[in-house]
Amino acid sequence: MAKRLINTIKQRSKRYINYKYNYSPRNNNQFQLYSEGKQFFPAMLDAIKQANSSVYIIQYIFETSLTANLFIKALIQARQNNVAVYLILDAYGSKGLSIQQRQQLLNAGVQLYLFNPLRNHHLLKYLYRDHRKLLVIDKSTAFLGGAGICDDYNFPEEHDKSWRDIMLQINGSIVQDCASLFKQHMPGMQGQNLTRHNRIKASHLLLHKQQARLLSSCTWHHNEIQRAIIHAAKKTRKRIWITTPYFVPTRRLKKSLIAAALRGCDVRLLLPGKNSDHPWVNQVARHLYNRLLKNKIKIYEYQPRFTHAKAILCDDWVCIGSSNLDKWNQKFNLELNIEVQSPDLTLQLSDFFEAGFNDAIHISPLLWNNRPALQRIKEWFWSKLAMWLERLVHNMR
């Protein structure tokens, strides 16, 4: 049974998608920011239960857990109500989803696809991953952000194992673009109601309230997300607040942030502290602290638990999604963010940042200069190893 299941899913799966798609700004949208799993998971499940025609899901992490059980039950119930359900999972990120639960979904009529399964003769291509997190209901409601379908986000809020993350609920015209994005990946659905949009400069987005635009990235050569962030950073005059779980920025992004700080902007980074799922990446990020602090960038390390949120606030420009600000993520991953100009969402995200700063340690130059010698050695070691691995992969291509 397991072999037959694997063959069925492989027939539906794609090894690598040459993902290049540009979107125009959309007006007349509404946004609700959820900052805890106990907020966004119930909202997402309720939306699935209310579905009338279709449920589209793209997920990186979907693993056997109490949370996944709730989603699987909701998806099966949707199929029993004659709702079309399509589910794209990353083959690596969803490796923790059991064979039995995959079979449950297939038996219920869920169209399940795996992105880029491992093939022995394509080991390097296996580095390419679909890291997006998107849920679209009836082409009228969407959820977009950084959270996977697992229990890491679903402990009680006060539990130190519960990850801090955000999901954005979207209603309005841009949900049509979310549905179109999904359709281009589905066999037999490409070209249905898809309209290619010309590339629009990010500055155009700042002209209207409640306007939004999807930002996609497909590896190093097509990264609308980084371009939009750098463009916004260059225009910013008051503040640039960034939160990301893995901060190893490209040279261009780092220069943009330093330039903004030196011209008087309040540039702040809210990064993980003692809690992280990849502590070695924290050490690589900390190797950058000296230069950042010398150039007036403020650094905060969040203490209560692991902060996995990915969000940027440049004055009143908001960017939220799945993309981490590390070089490996931008080289190998499919990512999806949204840029928004909305006073209400700006206020919601500002409150989220302020709460994070209050629960963080401010890394002052004095505090950083007095860190232990062992900490300095860890930073040096992991940064050198990361550089070596990056060169190794580059030479293999």
- For the chain, the three-class secondary structure string (H helix, E strand, C coil) is CHHHHHHHHHHHCECCCCCCCCCCCECCEEEEEECCHHHHHHHHHHHHHCCCCEEEEEECCECCCHHHHHHHHHHHHHHHCCCEEEEEEECCCCCCCCHHHHHHHHHCCCEEEEECCCCHHHCCHHHCEECCCEEEECCCEEEEECCCECHHHCCCCCCCCCCECCEEEEEECHHHHHHHHHHCCCCCCCCCCCCCCCCCCHHHHHHCCCEEEEEEEECCCCEHHHHHHHHHHHHCCCEEEEECCCEECCHHHHHHHHHHHHCCCEEEEEEECCCCCCHHHHHHHHCCHHHHHHCCCEEEEECCCCECCCEEEECCEEEEECCCEEHHHHHHEEEEEEEEECHHHHHHHHHHHHHHHHCEEEECHHHHHCCCHHHHHHHHHHHHHHHHHHHHHHHHC
Kindly state whether residues 172 and 222 are assigned to the same domain. Answer: no
Q: Are 18 and 130 part of one and the same domain?
A: yes
Judged against a pLDDT cut of 70, whether residue 336 lies above it is answered with yes
Residue 199 lies in a domain: no
Number of domains the chain is built from? 2
pLDDT value of residue 326: 86
Percentage with pLDDT > 70 across the chain? 83
Instruction: Give me the percent of the chain exceeding a pLDDT of 90.
Output: 69
Task: Identify the domain containing residue 114 by its residue range.
Answer: 11-192
In a domain, 169, yes or no: yes
Which tens digits make up the pLDDT trace of 357-394? 999 999 999 999 999 999 999 999 998 988 887 776 66
6, part of any domain: no
pLDDT of residue 22: 74
User: Are residues 393 and 260 located together in one domain of the fold?
Assistant: yes
Q: Is there a single domain that holds both residue 132 and residue 239?
A: no
Q: Is residue 85 part of a domain?
A: yes
Q: Which of 142, 158, 192 is the last residue of a domain?
A: 192
Pick 121 or 84 by higher pLDDT. Answer: 84
Does the pLDDT at position 321 exceed 50? yes
Residue 200 domain-assigned (yes or no): no
Asked whether residue 202 is assigned to any structural domain, the reply reads no
65 and 22 inside one domain: yes
Give tens-digit pLDDT for 237-277: 999 999 999 999 989 999 999 999 999 999 999 999 999 99
Q: Could you say which of 192, 227, 245 is where a domain stops?
A: 192
**Residue 181 sits in the same domain as residue 256:** no
The 10s digit of each residue's pLDDT in 88-124 is 999 999 999 999 999 999 999 999 999 888 776 566 6
Whether 243 and 144 map to the same domain: the answer is no
* pTM, full prediction: 0.88
Based on the fold, state whether residues 349 and 241 are members of the same structural domain: yes
The answer to whether residue 314 is domain-embedded is yes
119-133, 249-263, 274-288, 318-332, range with the lowest pLDDT:
119-133
pLDDT computed for residue 182 by the predictor: 86
- Asked, for residue 327, whether it belongs to a domain, the answer is yes
pLDDT tens track for 30-73: 999 999 999 999 999 999 999 999 999 999 999 999 999 999 99
Regarding whether 396 and 344 lie in a shared domain, the answer is yes
Does residue 150 sit in the same domain as residue 216?
Answer: no
Q: Domain with 239 in it: what CATH number?
A: 3.30.870.10
Confidence of residue 186 (pLDDT cuts 50, 70, 90): low
Q: What does the pLDDT look like over 141-178, one tens digit per residue?
A: 999 999 999 999 876 555 667 899 999 999 999 999 99
**In a shared domain, residues 146 and 91:** yes
Least confident of 166-180, 213-227, 299-313: 213-227
Mean predicted lDDT score pLDDT of the chain? 86
Q: Check whether residue 238 and residue 363 sit in a common domain.
A: yes
